[in-house]
Chains A and B, each alone.
Chain A
Amino acid sequence: MNPNHNPQSSDGGRHDDDAALTEFLASLMDYTPTIPDELVEHYLAKSGFQSPDLRLTRLVAVATQKFVAEVAGDALQVYCRHCKARQATIPKDKRDRQQKDKRLVLTMEDLTKALHDYGVNVRHQEYFADSPSTGMDPATRDE
C-alpha cells in the first residue's frame, strides 16, 4: 500500500514508475545480457517458471548478471584488502616487484568471504588426505 497521503501525487508517482518500468523492459530488448537467453530459459523451465514474454526472461538474466557482478566485485575488494594488509609488512623494493606483475586471480578464499555476505556458505576442502590417520602425530597413531 502506498504510504503517501496525497492520492494525486501517488497516482502520478505510480504512473511515473509504471512508465519507467515499461521503458526499462523495452530497453532490455536492446541490451544483450552476458548470460544467454537459452540458459536462462532452460533453468527457469526446470523450476516451473512459465512465461511466453521474452522481456521477463531478459529481466531474470540481467538480475542474475547483476548478482554475479556484485559477488565478483566484493571478492575483488576482499583481495585488495588482503594485498594491502600484506604489503604493509613487506619491505619496499619487494613491493615494487610485486606490483609490476600483479595478476588479479579469483581464489576460493576470496569467493568464500564474498559469498558469505550473501548468505551462501561455501565450504571448501583445503587439502585431501590419503587416509584418516595422515598427518597425525606418529606416537598417537594406532598401529
Chain B
Amino acid sequence: MGFTYPTNGNPNRRTIDHGGVGGRASSDEFGRAVSRIAVAQICESAGFNGVKNSAIEALSDVTIRYLIDLGKIAEFYANLAGRSQCSVFDLILGLEDLEQVKGFIGSGQSQCLLGSGTVRDLMRFVNCGDEVPFAQPIPNFPVIRQRKVIPSFLQMGEAPPSKHIPPWLPALPDPHTYIHTPMWDERTSDPREDKVEQARQRRKAERSLLSLQKRLLLCSGSVETRNTTSNVVVPSGGGASLRQGEGEGGDKNPYLKAPVDNKDVSPVPLPGKLSDDVDMIANHVSVLEAFAPAIEMMRSSGVLCEDDGMQGRTVLPAVRPTVYFKFRAGKKLIHESLDMRNQKKDASRTAALAGREDERDDKKRRAELILKQSMENPQELTLL
C-alpha cells in the first residue's frame, strides 16, 4: 500500500479544534470528529494515557483512508468478478491486499480464502481483545435534509403560460414578485362637498361657543362677589393701565392657579377686551352685547335650540365643577393662543375705542378667531 501522507496538507482540519471558527467547515467534519473519538478510544485501550493533537488527527485521517481504501479494493474485486454487490470473499481479498505490506501468515500461499491468515488473525483479535464499544450514540448520517421544492404547474393547479412549457416543470413565480405597479389614492375629491363640510363644522363650532358663553353668563351671574380672585382687570382706559391689568391678569391667570376645591370658582379667562369693565355684571353685559347679534341669529334659525341637549343645562349649579383643559403640544397651544388673543385685543382695543361699530366688528373678528382656532382643534369641540 505505501503512500505519502502529509499531515498539514488539510487546512480545514485545524478548525476542528476551534469548532469551525476561522475556517470553512468541510462537509466531512462530523465523520472526522467521530473517527477522532473512536481512534482515541482505541489508543486508550492500547495503553496510552494521552495523545497529542497532531498525532490523533493524523491517525484518524489514516483510519478514514483505510476504510475508504478497503471499500474500494473490495468493490474492485467484486466488479472484477462481474458482480456489483460485494461478498465476504471480496472483503477478505481486500484485507489481504492491505496487509501485504506488513505481511501475514499464509500470504505467500494462494490457498482457499476461508483459511487465510488474515481471517484467522481477525478472529484471534476479536476473541482475545476486550470489547470497547463506542462512547456515544451516533445518529444515522449523513442526514438528508428535506429540500423545499418549488411545486410544479400541476401541483399548483396552474396552466403553463405557453405550449412549450410542460406542466411537470416547477411553476413560474407569482407576478407580484417581479412586477411593481404604482398605487394611487383612489379617494375622489369633491370640492363642493369639502366646502359644505367645512361650513358645517364652522357652524357647529360657533354654536357650541355661543352656548358656552351663555352658560358662563348665567353661571357667573349667580355667583357672589367672591370673584375678586378672578382675572377681571381694572383698567379705566389707556394702554398703560391695560398693560398693568394684563400683568395682574397674568398673575391672576386661573390657568396658573391650582384649583383648591370645587367651591373656589376658577372662571374661564375672558378675553381682555371683554373684561375691561369693573365688575362682572357689566362684563356680562358686554359679552352679551358682543354675542347678542350672533345669538339672535342663531335663535331665529332655531339652530341653538336643537343643539346637543344644552337646554337642560342652561342653569348651572352654584358649585361649578373644575374645568379641565387639554393642552396639545403638536398644535397651537392654548396659552399661546390666549396671549395672541390678548395682544390682538390690545391692538384692536385702542382702535375700537373710536366707535361701537368698530367694536362690534372687533368682537366679531375675535369670535371668528376663536371659532377658527376651535375648528383647527376639532377634538376640543367635544369639550365645549
Contact = CB atoms under 8 A, between A and B. Distances in A.
| Interface of chain B, main secondary structure | helix
B5 A34 contact: no
Interface residues of B, number: 73
B38 interface: yes
B181 interface: no
B71 A105 contact: no
A92 to B, nearest CB: 24
Contact of B72 (A47, A55, A105, A121): A47
A78 interface: no
A17 B38 CA distance: 31
Contacts of B31: 39, 42-43
B46 A103 contact: no
A52 B85 CA distance: 9
Contacts of A62: 122, 125-126
Interface string A14-27: 10011011001101
Given A43-B31, A64-B66, A108 B52 contact: yes
Nearest to A13: B115
Contacts of B46: 69, 72-73, 76
Contacts of B41: 34
A69 B129 contact: yes
B71 A119 contact: no
B309 interface: no
30 contacts: A1-B110, A2-B111, A13-B112, A14-B112, A14-B115, A17-B112, A32-B131, A33-B134, A34-B41, A35-B63, A38-B140, A39-B31, A42-B141, A48-B72, A50-B86, A56-B87, A56-B91, A59-B122, A60-B71, A62-B125, A66-B125, A68-B43, A73-B46, A105-B48, A105-B51, A106-B50, A119-B3, A119-B101, A123-B5, A124-B8
Interface of A: 1-3, 13-14, 17-18, 20-21, 24-25, 27-28, 31-36, 38-40, 42-44, 46-52, 55-56, 59-60, 62-73, 75-76, 103-108, 110-111, 115, 117-125
Given A39-B38, A104-B50, 11 more contacts: A25-B88, A32-B131, A32-B133, A32-B134, A36-B138, A38-B138, A49-B74, A62-B122, A66-B125, A68-B43, A107-B55
